[in-house]
A and B are shown apart, each in its own frame.
Chain A
Amino acid sequence: MSTRIGTVFGQELRQARRNLWVILATAVLGLFALALALFGAGQGSGLKVDVLTLTAVSLATLSVYLIPLIALLMSYDSISGEVERGSLALTFATPVRRWEVFVGKFLAQTVAVCVAILIAFGTVGCVIALLSETGQDGIFAWLRLMLTAGGLGAIFVGIGLMVSALTCRTARAAAAAVGVWLLLVVLYDVALLGAIMAAGEGIFATHVFPWLVIANPADAFRLYNLAMIDAAPVAGIDGLAQTLPFPPVAALAALGIWLVATIAIGSARTRRIVP
């Protein structure tokens, strides 16, 4: 079992490297992190928090857009493309289990995303820490950001693979991936803001709304990072971070549920593919 997952994993990781996905993702994430760090350094003197914490806050907000996009781009064609090329039929004709193929692909692409995050955010974090006065809080905030960013990447790799297995066609998978990104990253927030403004103060705002926010993996990621930083300058939905009716760790649990659900649904769906 483990050797078969390992085989799929190795092949998939090799491709992520050959397709320059890892390098591209690292470059994009690194450049954005650096830009935000410079911006944070410019205004940091006026605030009571250090530059690293400040950059972690703004990077958490930006990562919500970038990391799902990178993860979806890396994964959406992974199964549908192989169905169209005919190579998945060959794979499925071997004694490999269908779920092993799904999990092997998932692990490899998650590692690819995480390596990109580790290199990009790690390097920029070190640079900031060395060049500015950095306290323990700042370092913890940065580490939390890197860890949860990896989790966010894993979830969206899972979603991308699930979409790929559900559609089985590259064109449809691409459309679905774009749809998922727009829905979870952009439209969901807009809809929630609209709802809270329409509902005003009341049961919805205090008891329903916070749960709806962490039901979305992108929002849960951002909320967790902001809620763990006391001095974070926040606005909009993120204002919720300071008045949460539950401990921030609940957001992590929501991320965990998403992760398990996407892998379970994706694996189950992969079993039913006729290649």
Chain B
Amino acid sequence: MTETLAIKALCLSFGGQKVLDDVSLSVQPGERLALLGHNGAGKSTLFKTVLGFLRPCSGTVAVAGHAPGSDPAREAVNYLPEVVSFQRNLSGREVLSYFSGLRGTPKAEVSDLLARVGLLEAADRAVGAYSKGMRQRLGLAQALIGTPRLLLLDEPTSGLDPVSRHEFYEVIADAAARGSAVLLSSHGLEEVQDKTDRIAILARGRLTAEGTLAELAHRAGLPTTIRISARPGAADALHGEFGGRRINGCRLDLDCAQGAKVDLLARLGRHHDKLRDIDIAPPGLTDIYRHFSRTGPTENQT
């Protein structure tokens, strides 16, 4: 049992409504898993269950092999909630010292953490004067106290500009390189592309997909769209030959399964005198994400 976080068949209800339904997932040390889902899909609830704030109806959660909320589990896990505002009249250093004290870690670590998130210069200013990005980085520094074995980050980069977001993920990658297992939630695939090792998609409390981005794209089996611009007068003939959707007088969209792409292009090549241009649009990340957050888990078993 090497997983830092192991969730098995987790169910949780609020007032008769199932918020989490048969969710199973695991995160290994040094691995980054992105949990995607709409607002209300159950991401925050899942985090609160891992923290031991909420009790599951059935199923098990183990943090480094311990029950959530137990002392060893709380020592292993660090958390950054979606919305947090620290006391405005305390300095960044005081905020970190406080959490360092609660975790019983050496105070000397605080300056190092402030440097890691780039807040060393602002360390002694009041948090009330921080920008949104700085406050979020302070939250991240707080989550890194004591080299956690499991990092829970609830939509850590929502509302950050692209540059801050990039720096944020660099710090997370650094933490993972030091051996922390990272579970972070997000709204979109674009954001976590290349930033996490695996992706899990949660829709209405059920896990609809889990794997690397390439695996998800393959499993979704979404068609590639080939956009054809025809020479004047040739559009009708092409439409008759290949079918597809007419966009306007000279444009035609063809849907094409992953494996049939080369074949179709070869056939199109034989009609090159009728073509003015060809565009190939592979399924985008948004399409993949929408595919999995719309369908139930049984519909996309391949």
B-binding residues in A (CB < 8 A): 3-4, 6-8, 10-11, 14-15, 18-19, 85-87, 89-96, 274-275
Contacts A7-B101, A86-B81 known; 6 new A-B pairs at CB < 8 A: A10-B101, A86-B82, A87-B86, A93-B51, A95-B75, A95-B102
When the two chains form their complex, are residues A89 and B53 in contact, meaning their CB atoms are under 8 A apart? yes
Contact pick for B79, options A3, A85, A93, A96, CB 8 Å: A93
Does B129 sit within 8 A of A, measured CB to CB? no
When the two chains form their complex, are residues A15 and B89 in contact, meaning their CB atoms are under 8 A apart? yes
When the two chains form their complex, are residues A15 and B87 in contact, meaning their CB atoms are under 8 A apart? yes
Q: For the complex, give the distance between the alpha carbons of A93 and B85 in Å.
A: 16
**A residues in contact with B54, CB < 8 Å:** 274
When the two chains form their complex, are residues A11 and B74 in contact, meaning their CB atoms are under 8 A apart? no
**B residues in contact with A8, CB < 8 Å:** 102
When the two chains form their complex, are residues A87 and B87 in contact, meaning their CB atoms are under 8 A apart? yes
**A residues in contact with B101, CB < 8 Å:** 3-4, 6-7, 10
When the two chains form their complex, are residues B83 and A11 in contact, meaning their CB atoms are under 8 A apart? no
Q: For the complex, give the distance between the alpha carbons of A14 and B98 in Å.
A: 11
Does B71 sit within 8 A of A, measured CB to CB? yes
Contact pick for B99, options A85, A90, A275, CB 8 Å: A90
A-binding residues in B (CB < 8 A): 48, 51, 53-54, 71, 74-75, 77-87, 89-90, 94, 98-99, 101-104, 142
Contact pick for B89, options A4, A7, A10, A18, CB 8 Å: A18
**B residues in contact with A15, CB < 8 Å:** 87, 89-90
When the two chains form their complex, are residues B74 and A94 in contact, meaning their CB atoms are under 8 A apart? yes
Smallest beta-carbon distance A159→chain B, Å: 23
A interface majority secondary structure: helix
Nearest B residue (CB) for A275: B53
Q: For the complex, give the distance between the alpha carbons of A93 and B70 in Å.
A: 10
Smallest beta-carbon distance A68→chain B, Å: 25
Question: What are 28 sample pairs from A and B whose C-beta atoms fall under 8 A apart?
Answer: A3-B101, A4-B101, A7-B98, A7-B101, A10-B98, A11-B90, A15-B90, A18-B89, A18-B90, A19-B89, A85-B86, A86-B81, A86-B82, A86-B85, A87-B84, A87-B85, A89-B51, A90-B142, A91-B99, A92-B51, A93-B78, A94-B74, A94-B102, A94-B103, A95-B75, A96-B102, A274-B48, A274-B53
**B residues in contact with A87, CB < 8 Å:** 84-87
Q: For the complex, give the distance between the alpha carbons of A90 and B101 in Å.
A: 13
Given contacts A11-B90, A11-B94, contact A95 B71 (CB under 8 A): yes
**B residues in contact with A18, CB < 8 Å:** 89-90
Q: For the complex, give the distance between the alpha carbons of A270 and B86 in Å.
A: 20
- 5 tightest A-B contacts by CB? A7-B101, A94-B102, A86-B84, A93-B79, A18-B89
When the two chains form their complex, are residues B74 and A93 in contact, meaning their CB atoms are under 8 A apart? yes
Smallest beta-carbon distance B189→chain A, Å: 26
Nearest B residue (CB) for A91: B102
Given contacts A14-B90, A14-B94, contact A90 B81 (CB under 8 A): yes
Nearest B residue (CB) for A11: B98
Q: For the complex, give the distance between the alpha carbons of A86 and B83 in Å.
A: 6
Q: For the complex, give the distance between the alpha carbons of A91 and B90 in Å.
A: 15
When the two chains form their complex, are residues A4 and B102 in contact, meaning their CB atoms are under 8 A apart? yes
Q: For the complex, give the distance between the alpha carbons of A160 and B156 in Å.
A: 34
**A residues in contact with B78, CB < 8 Å:** 93
**B residues in contact with A86, CB < 8 Å:** 81-85
Nearest A residue (CB) for B73: A95
Q: For the complex, give the distance between the alpha carbons of A85 and B83 in Å.
A: 7
Q: For the complex, give the distance between the alpha carbons of A96 and B51 in Å.
A: 13
Q: For the complex, give the distance between the alpha carbons of A222 and B83 in Å.
A: 45
**A residues in contact with B102, CB < 8 Å:** 4, 7-8, 91, 94-96
Q: For the complex, give the distance between the alpha carbons of A10 and B80 in Å.
A: 23
Q: For the complex, give the distance between the alpha carbons of A26 and B84 in Å.
A: 32
Q: For the complex, give the distance between the alpha carbons of A14 and B87 in Å.
A: 11
When the two chains form their complex, are residues A4 and B90 in contact, meaning their CB atoms are under 8 A apart? no
Q: For the complex, give the distance between the alpha carbons of A85 and B89 in Å.
A: 14
Smallest beta-carbon distance A201→chain B, Å: 56
Q: For the complex, give the distance between the alpha carbons of A93 and B143 in Å.
A: 10
When the two chains form their complex, are residues B77 and A4 in contact, meaning their CB atoms are under 8 A apart? no
When the two chains form their complex, are residues A85 and B103 in contact, meaning their CB atoms are under 8 A apart? no
Smallest beta-carbon distance A114→chain B, Å: 22
Nearest A residue (CB) for B102: A94
**A residues in contact with B84, CB < 8 Å:** 85-87, 89-90
Contact pick for A95, options B74, B83, B86, B94, CB 8 Å: B74
Nearest B residue (CB) for A97: B71
Q: For the complex, give the distance between the alpha carbons of A114 and B85 in Å.
A: 29
Q: Which of A10, A19, A86, A96 has the most CB of B within 10 A?
A: A86
**A residues in contact with B51, CB < 8 Å:** 89, 92-93
